[in-house]
Amino acid sequence: MTGFKNGGLNGGLNGGLNGGLSSGPLGGRSWSGGSSSSLVPFSPPLKTGDDATGELMFFNNPDLEFPKSAWSPALRAQVIVGEFAASDWRTDLTTTDYRERSAGFHSQTPGTPTGLRGELLTLINFRNNIRQEMANEIAVQVDGSQLYWSNAFMIGIENKPNSSILVAVAMAVGQLVGMHFKDYWKRARPIQFCPALMPIIPTPPHPSYPSGHALQAYLVKHLLSAAARASAGDALHDYFSNFAERIANNREIAGVHFPTDKLESADLAAQVWEHHLRELPSVQELIANAWGEWEHNLVPGDFKNPVMAEGPESFADQIAIKLRGL
């Protein structure tokens, strides 16, 4: 009976969590604010005709269109994914070896990592010393990393509609590109080399390299930085960067990714942004329209202290400090 209890509990928790997230700021909710599956009671029926003529009353406007502003961000993003998929991204990134033209190039060969022992030791250190502290955050980010962006930066369809779509585009394009290269490299998961890692979440049913969550997070960073016209050294840009790093690092702490999976994702996201996403007319339009959603965040002189302007402390530095104190 224990198995049935655990299955029911896990299923209920996962279903509730996933359902709640999918109807959240970037999910498939209705334009009116409720879930797309919300019941709207309406009884008795509204009068639909003119008492004198008996004719049906309606808005006789053949040019009426569904407004862009009423789209669900997640669904609008699918239209842009189609535009992206029609480009030459797959051929370009696969045949020209994007790693060699990336500023963050690393020499790790997927599937046969020369530093396998060192990477596994890093993951074991995470398991032993940091994992429990990050457990709740890791669990929610399995299916809801976009929730962290929307919550921290107040990105919602009501107040930042264009930015909401940009986040959804990053999530959708990141998944498409990530799955292509996972299939291309076919890198084994950490637990296949070291079962004692025992990830705190189920190991995803697809290859390890690159990290999909990291790729999505880095794409969000690039798109939002462009929308907010924030460059390196700006407070907002540094916050975006640190959020992306945190989400990426959590996948290593969870035990489901190697550190080099994250490095690959950072390189790949930069190439996808620089050579493909930023060239799409639909993305350019969203970025231009999104500027008005961020300009109030970038008033010169807001941060008098340079330390404050750098944003939150680097997550990697936090980990290093914690490990040094052991």
- pLDDT at site 264: 86
236 or 302, greater pLDDT: 236
Q: Give yes or no for a contact between 153 and 203, defined as CB atoms under 8 angstroms apart.
A: no
pLDDT value for 9:
39
Instruction: Report percent pLDDT > 90 for the chain.
Output: 38
Q: What is the mean pLDDT of residues 167-183?
A: 93
pLDDT at 321 over 80: no
The Cα–Cα gap between 146 and 25 comes to 9
Q: Which of 89-93, 111-115, 275-279 has the highest mean pLDDT?
A: 275-279
Q: What is the pLDDT of residues 136-153, one digit of tens each?
A: 888 988 988 888 898 889
Q: How confident is the model at residue 177 (pLDDT cuts 50, 70, 90)?
A: very high
* Residue 297: predicted pLDDT: 65
Query: In this predicted model, what pLDDT tens digit does every residue of 271-286 receive, in sequence order?
Result: 899 888 999 999 999 9
Show the DSSP H helices in the chain as ranges: 2-22, 73-85, 89-95, 116-129, 131-152, 161-185, 190-193, 212-227, 235-254, 259-275, 281-290, 306-309, 315-324
Say how far apart CA 188 and CA 181 lie, in whole Å. 13
Higher pLDDT pick, 292 / 15 = 292
pLDDT at 249 over 60: yes
Query: What are the residue boundaries of the structural domains of the chain, listed by start?
Result: 72-90+114-295+303-326
Write down the pLDDT at residue 302.
46
pLDDT at 248: 94
Select, from the ranges 55-64, 97-106, 111-120, the one with the highest average predicted confidence (pLDDT). Answer: 55-64
| Whole-number pLDDT of residue 211 | 94
Angle between helices 259-275 and 235-254 (to 10 degrees): 140
User: Mean pLDDT score of the chain, rounded to an integer?
Assistant: 78
Is the dihedral angle over the CA atoms 201, 194, 119, 323 positive or is it negative? Answer: positive
Question: Which residues fall within 8 angstroms of residue 228, CB to CB, at 6 or more apart?
Answer: 236, 237, 290, 291, 294, 297, 298
Closest C-alpha among 267, 241, 264, 240 to residue 252 = 264
Average pLDDT over residues 147-163: 89
Say if residues 93 and 271 touch (Cβ distance below 8 Å): yes
Bond from prior residue into 161 cis (ω within 30 degrees of 0): no
pLDDT of residue 309: 41
Token pair of 305 as six digits? 């202290």
d(C-alpha 235, C-alpha 111), whole Å: 37
User: Homologous superfamily of 72-90+114-295+303-326 in CATH?
Assistant: Phosphatidic acid phosphatase type 2/haloperoxidase (1.20.144.10)
Contact 19, 36 (CB under 8 A): no
pTM of the predicted protein model? 0.76
State the pLDDT confidence band at 206, using cuts at 50, 70 and 90.
Answer: very high
Q: In this model, does residue 95 exceed pLDDT 70? A: no
Contacts of 295 (CB under 8 A, 6+ apart): none
Alpha-carbon distance 284 to 271, whole Å? Answer: 17
**Of 93, 115, 118, the residue nearest 106 (C-alpha):** 115
Q: How confident is the model at residue 37 (pLDDT cuts 50, 70, 90)?
A: low
- In the structure, what pLDDT confidence band is assigned to residue 307 with cuts at 50, 70 and 90? very low
pLDDT in tens, 43-82: 777 777 666 666 777 777 888 888 888 888 989 999 999 9
* ∠ Cα 303 288 147 (to 5°): 65
Nearest to 266 by CA among 281, 254, 251, 284: 251
pLDDT of 298 reads 56
The sign one gets for the Cα dihedral 149, 155, 157, 162 is negative
Amino acid at 248: A
- Residue 276 identity: H
Q: How many CB atoms lie within 10 A of CB 146?
A: 26
